[in-house]
Amino acid sequence: MIDVLAFDKELAAGLDRSGPGSAHVDCRAAVVEIGRGSWNSMAFESPDPGGYGLLMLFGSLVRRVGQGGRFGAELLGPGDLLRPWQNVGAVASIPFEPAWTAITDTEVAVLGEDFAQRASPYPEVATQLVGRALLRSRYLAINMAIVQQPRIETRLHMLFWHLADRWGRVRPGGVTFDMPLTHALLADLVAARRPTVSSALAVLARENKVVRTPQGWRLSGDPPRELAELSDAQHSDRLSQGREVD
């Protein structure tokens, strides 16, 4: 068991000063360990634990969906909320089944129905968890915008900085993040072929922009200007939507 609010302090944001002590007691959850490799996401005591889902504590998961030998991938890490048993592929016009892989040893907290009931007196926690679910859709939209870039080097450079914004650490010599991303996985993330990705990574390494390390990757220099332009475009869209609502 783990005190979820102590582990992930952002989830306690907004709690009344009189409530946090009780909330830390009530918002405890069981921890499930996922070993590296293919993961059967339905391997729970109940096929649908209900509640909010699984909150990632440590490690990295990949969700891959494909048809005809071509795949798209989503990378998940600490702080992400997922409900792997919730799948629309079986009833879609083009059926598909997602495949889950743990690229590192991973731990998740099960925020099931019992957790939801115990956390119900603290709507601030529910608000934060809903926000986590919405953030996944935002990150996927960013990834879709990245894969629209015509040059593979630009796609990879943008992707690495996008991932570094989420899980990177500033250290002497650049920004690092410790994820064992293979060339094949990167190819799925940027909608390219693996040999093309390998060639592009060699170019980025020669330019000292993205360098592989024993633990993961190191980024040097400034983020690509295309990523800043993407952020500016998103900001403009939000302002436009605000004006329409007004």
Shared-domain flag, residues 9 and 124: yes
Q: What pLDDT score does 239 carry?
A: 35
User: Token pair of 129, please?
Assistant: 């968890």
| Domain of residue 221, CATH code | 1.10.10.10
* End residue of a domain, out of 80, 102, 133: 133
Q: What distance in Å separates the CA atoms of residue 217 and residue 205, rounded to the nearest whole number? A: 11
Shared-domain flag, residues 157 and 227: yes
Q: What pLDDT score does 44 carry?
A: 63
Shared-domain flag, residues 240 and 127: no
Helix axes 194-206, 152-167, angle to 10 degrees: 70
* Digitized pLDDT (tens) for each residue of the chain, 246 residues in all: 999 999 999 999 888 654 567 899 999 999 999 999 999 877 665 556 678 999 999 999 999 887 766 778 999 999 999 988 877 655 666 666 788 999 999 999 999 999 999 999 999 999 999 999 999 888 988 888 999 999 999 999 999 999 999 999 998 889 998 899 999 999 999 999 999 999 999 999 999 999 999 889 999 988 887 776 665 555 444 434 443 333
Q: Which domain holds residue 186?
A: 147-245
Q: What pLDDT score does 242 carry?
A: 42
Please say whether the beta carbons of 98 and 56 come within 8 A: no
| Domain of residue 117, CATH code | 2.60.120.10
Our count of domains for the chain comes to 2
User: Token pair of 31, please?
Assistant: 């921890």
Q: What pLDDT score does 172 carry?
A: 85
Q: What distance in Å separates the CA atoms of residue 58 and residue 179, rounded to the nearest whole number? A: 11
Shared-domain flag, residues 86 and 10: yes
